Structure 1
Amino acid sequence: MNNPEMSKTNKQNDVDKKCEDGSSKLPVSSNKNIYSFSANDLSPEVFHQAVEHAPVAISITDLQANILYANRAFSKVTGYSSEEVMGKNESILSNHTTPRLAYQALWGRLSQKKAWSGLLVNRRKDDSLYLAELSVAPVLNKDEETVYYLGMHRDYSELHELEQRVNNLSQMISSVINSAPIAIAVFDRQNTIELMNPSFKKLVADLAPEKTLEEAKNILFEMLGEDFTLLQQTARAFHSHEVTFDEGGPNQRWYVCNGTAIELEDESAGNFFNQPEKRHTLITIDDITELRKRQQDSQLNALKALIAEEDLAHATRETFNGAIHSLQGPVNLIGAALNMLERRRDRFAPDDPVLQALRDAQRAGSEALEKLMTSLPFASDQANLPVNINEVLRSVISLSTPKLLSQGVVVEWKPELRLPSINGREGKLVSAFRHLVDNAIESMSNSSFTQRELHISTHSDKHVVRVEIMDNGPGIANDLKFKIFEPFYSTKPPYKGCRGMGLSMVQETILDHAGTVSVDKKYKDGCCMVIELPYS
């Protein structure tokens, strides 16, 4: 028969053995396992050893903060042995730099029998400083009166240094991003903006001043096109993607965009061991409008010289061709007359002065024709390159601005936002479209309308870029809508000195680009020139 008191003593001895030998299991009797123990089975020595070996510095003081007990971790953190601090006040650890307000808060909480937690600057035995993360709690007796204070603290210096370093780095990064002239934004998988700097907000306002942030964001994604789609789907970065934003106003914008994927980890505790894919997208956008405008001004000046040279060369060629055509007729008549007279030998001797004169005239005419043909200026040979018709028309509007202003013409410019490029010669296209615009301006200047409007629009349809140039001038009669493209034909009065070569040159240029130019017969409010150019 088991004695209950003896059984209790055996259990106590088993606990003491564990504390002494440091074994991982409590010795138990054969008919009782470890899960049958209760809190009442643990001796005070177990609690003492648990506190003594705790990894946090623990001290117990009286109500005046005189140390009554300090564990091993306390000695390790402070450098003082338990014998050195016994009976000493906790103030021996103070560096006397902690604000008085912190101590007032500490004692205020303890006087209310409540715990206090905070940070204090402490001094070790070797005079080195450390930041202590301290928690102090009152120890109450059965009458709810404070009899001791229990203090627990740890060296928080390294963690504080790391936190401050992270905070400082975050502050520096935030300052750099917010003050950067480049627009920066981070999007999640649903394209929600997670972060954006002031430059990005300004860019969005410039892109769509009358639209919402969501609409402006979609415009940006549309401009980036396939690059942005691949970045989101496959994390393939893109660099130096240049886009143009042109909705027809005077504020055309140019941007250089870069995109990269950012892999972030989930913050929730449930995903600590199994991190889900959390990809974000970083987009940076640099506004290069001012640089492009300076380049465009230089290109326009060069373009003016090129167009003037092209026009002069074309006019010279047409004049020479006209002269050749006019001279070829008389020369041919002289040759025919000479042949006829030579066959009538019964009336004209071979050395007859009339025949000799005709031979001299024929020879002189042929020599003149040959000289004219050899003197024809060569057409400049420009390379076929990808050309954006929106850029061509904007250059034309810039070149024609003085005329537009002097004639009081209001321009409505409606380009398609993403217009495909065509293969062509930019200089020739600019020259051709400028002729059409100048013709429209001159037509409106000769009308009695006080409100003069020029509408220019572009759009793509069925592998064709379609351009419409509409004016509210007097228009063109139906019987002349094909004749106006003939060389040397002009509807302008002779005294204005017009050669009638403008529309002929326009048609030649458009045909060289495998396109068509025509007058819209359905347009009744003036004249509408329709140009269609194929793209691949």
Structure 2
Amino acid sequence: MSTEPDRTELEAELRAFKRAVDHAASSIFLTTVDGTIEYVNQAFEVETGYSSAEAVGSQPSILDSGEQNDAFFAELWRTILDGDVWSGRLVNQRKNGTQYVIDQTVVPVTNGADEVERFVAVTSDVAGNGEHGATPDESEQLFRAVFERAFDAMLISDDDGEYVDANPAACELFGVSREALLGCTPFDFAAPEYDVEAAWQSFLQSDRDRGLFPLRRADGMDLIVEFAATASIRPGRHLSILRDVTALHEARQQQERQRRKLRVLNRVLRHDIRNDANVIIGYAELLDDGVVDRVEAAAAITTRANDLVRLSEQARGIEARSGEETAGRRIDIASRLRAFVDQYGSEHPEADIRYEGPETAPITAVGLVDSVFDNLLENAIEHSDRPEPVVRVRVEEHLDAPSGTVTVEIEDDGPGIPSADLEIIESGDETPLKHAHGLGLWLVSWIVSESGGSVEFEQAAPRGTLVRVTLPRRHTLSTDTATVENGWG
């Protein structure tokens, strides 16, 4: 929580910063996202001949000399609207009609939601005659002020990719001090699957790049960051701007998984309900015509009606669970499994159910993970065709993996899961010609996927089913061009 001294100190800092900008030798102006000028400093007035009153409310196109074409400004706008820094040289025209050459840098300013709110343009007169241009020291001071106070992480690299400068936001993002960060490269923080060398070489050749980068912090936390990089802001120096979009990335993945789940659920329900209903209607018609044994028809109708009831209960269970906790949390899966083995052993004394594994086995999974093993054990016992079903629950920890994993195997000696159903579950798709009867196994697949894990189904030897569920010990992540006229505006 902010305190009064904190606010006073911040206000004093902002006043000092504004005084520095007001009196900076470099020409500086701020615009809205559509290019309307909101502020100009004194150097802008001297350099351009336009007073603050004349410039504010206008577009930067008041400085257009006609020397740059529409494509030039379209590229400038595309770059800054994408959130990238634009740097380049152009010819401007003063109020009195004289032209002059400037080096200009345009920096997007984002809000707390990472949306571009306005732009800051800093220019220096290439002529450097002392009347309008900034000295190198003054330009550097202004750059440092922007660099140090930026909310986004900003890094400067050399030609080999080594970080030679980093702002406080970068240190916070990477989870290290500035001293520890300098001298490192993207290789030191990239997830193993990311080809840093290819990405770096492509960037150096294209001069500009943007995209997503799977960042592994110094503390081992995995993030997805969005980056925008500009090459050669100075000779041999390259600027990268990064922001954490992990939450946004996960939300988009969650939405896609939800759409896929609903699509498959709809098809499975339609198919299974239609099949069972057709059988019931068929037997009812045969009964009406008197061409089928009443006992046989009643048994078939009862079986199919019970299938519909079970299907309805499974769908209702999925709907209820969809509102439960979906954030990853630490769970001792070994103790949970031993409790399930005791429960089902008590409910089914005829079954031989045993747990084999460590006393404790921590995992990170969604709160729904209990439903996975509840469903698998229920299937193994209640769908068995043996008078004394045999079920083995085995747990093994794998600490050599990057994040560490725990594997749970549930093996039974029952009739096995139909191969057609296994093919559909493992492929993650469903078509009108292929369906998985019942929703329990779909629920297993979805929850394990939500937890960042995997599930495999195999035929056990000599008979039965082996289900292998692998879950992480620590959660890992599943990683317009504007229409313009001449000039800025």
**TM-score, normalised via structure 2 length:** 0.36
Higher relative contact order (CA 8 A, sep 6+): 2
Q: Greater Rg, structure 1 or structure 2?
A: 1
**TM-score, normalised via structure 1 length:** 0.33
Instruction: Name the one with the larger helix percent.
Output: 1
